[in-house]
Structure formats: C-alpha cells, structure tokens
Amino acid sequence: MTTDQQEKLIRRYLLGELPEAEQTAFERELLADREKFDRVWATESRLVDSYVRGEVSRSDRERFEGHYLASPLHRERVAIAELFLQDLDEKTAEVPAAVRQAAPAVSWWSQLFAPMHRPQLPFGAAVAILLLLSCGAGWLYFERTRLTEQLVKLQEEAQAERSSRRQREQELARRAQEAEKENAGRQQDNEQLNAELEQFRRLRRQPGPPALLSFLLTPAPTRGQNVPPPQIPLVTNPVRLLMELNGSHYPSYRFRLQTVEGREIFSQSGGSGSGKDRAFATVTVPAGKLAKGDYVLILSGRTAAGAVEEIDQYFFQVK
Amino acid sequence: MNPVGQIQSEGQVRVVVCREGGSCVSIVQQSKTNWVLTEGAFAKLLSGLDSDPEHAGEKYEALRESLVKFLDWRGSLIPEELVDEAFNRVARKLDEGETIHDLPAFCHGVARLVFLQSLAHPGNNQVQLDNLPPMAAPGPVVSDVRRECFILCLQELSAESRQLITDYYQHEKRQKINHRLSLAESLGIAPNALRCRAQRVRDKLEQCIMRCCRKSNY
C-alpha cells in the first residue's frame, strides 16, 4: 500500500467511513504496529488543524462535521486546536518582528518613514502623520466591527436555514410515516375484507346437507297384474324408501336391496314408523348405492323369538 | 510493578500500581457488578501481557492508550472509563482461571463490546453537529475559560516541551516538512520519534486544558 493510499485509509477510518469489520481489522493492525498507531494519531491532529485553518475540501469538511464533530470530546479538541494554532500564529508573527528589530539592514518600510526620524522634521508634519495613522486605525476598527457583525449575521442566517431545513425534513418524515401508517391500515382492511369474501365464497361452494328423497314402494304385483314397477330418478342424494306394512308387525325389520339379477347391493336392519292409520317400514339407501337399473327390495321381519320371516318384495326401477 | 492498594470512592474501586521508577498506572472497577478488582487479578492481567513486570507495565500503558484512542476515534464520550471497564472484565476472566492467548486482541474485543454497550445509554451517544441545540454553542464565557486554561496549561509544560510543539507545528506544508526534518536532526532523533514526542506533548496539553475546563465547571 502506498503512503497516499495509507493516508486515505486513515482518513476514512477517522471520518467513520470504514464498515465495522474493516474498522475492527484496522484497529487490530494498529494494536500490532505502534508506529502506524502514531501515524493515525498524527493524521488526526493534522485533520483537525486543517479543519481549523479552513484547508479541507468541502466534502471533507462535511464528513468531518457530520462524523468527527458529532463527539463532544472531538469538538473540545477542535476548540483547543483553534487556541493552539492561534497562539502559534501569533508567535510566528512575533518572530519576524524580532528579527526585523535585530536586523541592521534598512527595510523599504523604514526607508519610507526615514524622514520622520530626522531631527529637522517639522512638528506639524509629525502630527499630521499621527492623525492620518489614527484615522486609518479607526477606519480599520470600524471595518472590522462591520465585517464581524456581517459574519455573525450570516452565521445566524445559516443556523436559521439549517433549523428550517431540519423542521421541513422532520415534517416530511412525519407525513411519510402517517401515509405509511394509513396505507398499512388500508392494506389490513383490504386483507380482512378479502378474507371475509373468501370465507363467504367457500361457504357458498360448500354443499349443504344432502337432501333426502323419499319414495313409497308398493309390493310386487301378483301374477297377472301388469303394473309397471315404480320409478325412481337417478339422484346423487340418499334415498329413503318407505314400504307400507299391511298388518304385519315385527319388533324389527331387515331390508335387503338386490338387483333383479340377484346381486346384493345393500342390507340393513331397522325399525318401522307410523303415519295416520298406516304403518311403514323405512330404510335409507346411502347416496351412490343406486345406479340405473332394476332393483328388488326384500323386506323381512324378525320375530320376538329371533326368527326371520320374509314379508314382501318390492320392485322398482332407477332411471 | 507492585500493586499499592485499592482506593474506594463513590461507586468506584481504583487499583493503583506503581513502578520502581515512580510512575503509576491505575485501573478502575465500577461497582456495577458484585465482583471487585483485586490486586491479584490485576497482577494476572499484567503478567498476561509480559512475564517481566517492568515490560508488562509499559505494555499495559501502551495498550490502554491505544484502546482509549480507538474508542475516542469511534466517538465515545468517556473512552477512558470504558477501557478501564474492559480491563476489569478481562482481569475478572483471568482471575476466574480462563486462558487467553492473545490478550491485547482480547482486550480490544472487550473494549469494543463495552463501547457498543455504552451506546445503549442515551447520554453516551454522539450528537450530530446540526442537531445540537443553539445553547450548546460555546458562549464567550466558555471561550474565556478555555483560553485561561490554555495559557495555564501551556505554562505547566516544561520549556523544552513548549518549544518542541511550537517548533513542530509551525510553518506551512513543504516548509513544515523540511523544518521538521531539520528539527529531528537537531534533536538527534528520527522524524517518527519526533512526531510521536510532539503528539504526546500536544495530547498532554489537551488533557490538561480539558481537566482545567471541567474544574471550572463550564
């Protein structure tokens, strides 16, 4: 790394521009290398002095004020540096004066005022020169005061502008925060409404409890009767079949559903119900058991003794 | 280097250790925790830096100075207190029997941690210059106090030191470099040693002014 690069790295470190990891690594290097540490310290002093003397670039000054001067300790250091450099400048200015006093050579300044030192200088001329010098000093004092006031005024204006800018920024930040909050609220409302809508749609899509269709079956016709079997439409719902019990009463009933070819589809035991003056045996055939075709339902009764007796057969057709 | 004792005051315990030559170093234990720094723990910290007590003391001082400056450059308001707290924690670890291989690096890590923890306290945070209330700008009274302190502290420096920083920091740019080279030559030291010496005198002056201003309660 060249000296220039090192200097840049040190300045970046001091101005807080290094990421945390690099900063830590750099400090580790400084721990191991005392000379480098001293160089960083000296660079800090140089940076402070340059800032005090107004010798830093605008960008460096901004970074310096933004980072370095954020620490009260650093601000104190800069204030002390101001005093130190001021004192140094005063001492530096005193030295040439002392040298001038000691120097035997006659300067152009002395030559200019040489006539004043001559004994033959008229008293009036001396007074005039004195007056001229007093006026000059007065004018300088007046001008200095005016410039100082102007400077203070400019500083105040800059301060006011900074405060105003800060207020504007705070106001904008506040508004942005409010807008963000409002958006978040709206988004939450939207999400809630969408959720409700979705729930509503889901509820609509969900099928209700299947409707139960009931059919009354009549016993198989006796020989010679040409009555077509009752027809049941093909439905996806469960089907309740009712069979009238003509005087035959059993404690329980057994239902066997078969195709006309004799294949058993479904069997179940159950009870009976009664309507007005009529008694029915009922069985519910679950949905999906019935396809298109001809069926026979065999109704049996179980006696109290446990014997099963066939009561009747009921033909029907699913179309 | 032998510990000479503990001084307890207002929630702090400070162990003062003096070298045979007369220079002393101290370490502060804030009584935030139940653990109090003991002479034995501090001696372990020193021996961890170097087996030779004399060198250990020098290394401790150099390490402390580096760590204080690191935290200062990171913007800490109380770098010295934080570094002392870091040393405390390290001394405690050593006293509890923990083995630490690279003690300076470990101390650096702990100091960094203590600094980051200190940022959680609002009083220890940095304040952007623009965010300072107008009252924070130093008034004429503050400037006067500082000036008086500056004059006082400059007088407290030895004549050689005063002359050294005056000579070292005067002149501009190229002229300054040449001047410093000839100054180093006249003192019979290397330019780096001169830079280091001048920096330390300047730091001493700065520390003196800060202490003086604090005493004046501004």
What is the pLDDT averaged over residues A247-263? Answer: 86
The residue whose two tokens read 């004799």 is A262
Q: Which residue of B has its CA nearest to A92?
A: B170
| pLDDT confidence of residue A249 | 79
Q: Which band of pLDDT confidence, cut at 50, 70 and 90, is reported for residue A131?
A: confident
How far apart are the CA of B34 and the nearest CA of chain A, in angstroms?
30
Question: How far away is chain B from the Cα of A34, in angstroms, using its nearest Cα?
Answer: 9
DSSP calls for chain B: -EEEEEEEETTEEEEEEE-TTS-EEEEEEETTSS----HHHHHHHHHHH-SSHHHHHHHHHHHHHHHHHHHHHTT-S-HHHHHHHHHHHHHHHHHTT---SSHHHHHHHHHHHHHHHHTTSGGGS---GGGS-GGGS--HHHHHHHHHHHHHHHHHS-HHHHHHHHHHH-S-HHHHHHHHHHHHHHHTS-HHHHHHHHHHHHHHHHHHHHHHHHHTT-
pLDDT at position A203 over 80 = no
And the tokens for A158? 């800059």
Residues of chain A found within 8 Å of residue B146, distances taken between Cβ atoms? 79-80, 83
Going by C-alpha positions, the residue among A259, A251, A220, A213 that lies closest to residue A234 is A213
The reply to whether residue B75 touches residue A76, judged by beta carbons under 8 angstroms, is no
pLDDT surpasses 90 at A210: no
Q: Are strands A308-318 and A231-232 parallel, antiparallel or unpaired?
A: parallel
Count how many pairs of residues, chain A against chain B, have C-beta atoms within 8 Å: 98
- CA of A158: which chain B residue's CA is closest? B130
Give residue A130's pLDDT band: very low, low, confident or very high (50, 70, 90). Answer: confident
Q: Which residue has the higher pLDDT, B134 or A145?
A: A145
**pLDDT tops 90 at residue A180:** no
Confidence of residue A221 (pLDDT cuts 50, 70, 90): low
Q: What is the DSSP letter of A278?
A: -
Domain ranges for chain A, please list them: 3-174, 213-318
Report yes or no: A254 and A263 within 8 Å, Cβ to Cβ.
no
Residue pair A240/A283 in contact (Cβ under 8 Å)? The answer is: yes
Using CB atoms, pick whichever of B105, B126, B170 lies closest to residue A31. Answer: B105
pTM of the model: 0.53
Q: Which residue has the higher pLDDT, B1 or A227?
A: A227
The reply to whether residue A73 touches residue B72, judged by beta carbons under 8 angstroms, is: yes
Nearest to A212 by CA among A188, A239, A174: A239
Evaluate if residue A103 carries a pLDDT over 70: no
Q: Which pLDDT value is given to residue A148?
A: 78
Task: Name every chain B residue with its beta carbon within 8 A of the beta carbon of A27.
Answer: 70, 108, 112
**Distance of residue B66 Cα from the nearest chain A Cα, in angstroms:** 7
Q: Quote the CA–CA distance of B101 and B104 in Å, as a whole number.
A: 9
Identify which of A44, A69, A91 has the shortest CB distance to residue B129.
A69
Q: Which residue has the higher pLDDT, A112 or A181?
A: A181
pLDDT of A216 reads 84
- Please choose, from the candidates B21, B66, B27, B65, the residue with its C-alpha nearest in 3D space to the C-alpha of residue B44: B27
What pLDDT does A246 receive? 75
| CA quadruple A188, A190, A196, A202: dihedral sign | negative
pLDDT bracket for residue A206 (50, 70, 90): low
Tokens of A54: 């107004």
Q: How far is A72 from chain B (nearest CA, A)?
A: 7
Among B49, B129, B203, pick the best mutation site for testing chain A contact (most A Cβ within 10 A).
B129
Nearest CA in chain A to B167: A88
Cβ contact A42–B199 (<8 Å): yes
Q: Looking at beta carbons, which residues of chain B come within 8 Å of A76?
A: 210, 213
Mean pLDDT of A295-299: 90
How many Cβ atoms from other residues are within 10 Å of residue A241's Cβ?
Answer: 24
Residue B190 CB partners (closer than 8 Å, separation 6+): B184
pLDDT at B28: 57
Lowest mean pLDDT among A17-26, A62-71, A115-124: A115-124
Architecture of the A213-318 domain: Sandwich (2.60)
Q: Which residues of chain B have pLDDT under 70?
A: 1-34, 122-141, 172-174, 217-218
Three-state secondary structure readout of B116-143 = HHHCCCHHHCCCCHHHCCHHHCCCHHHH
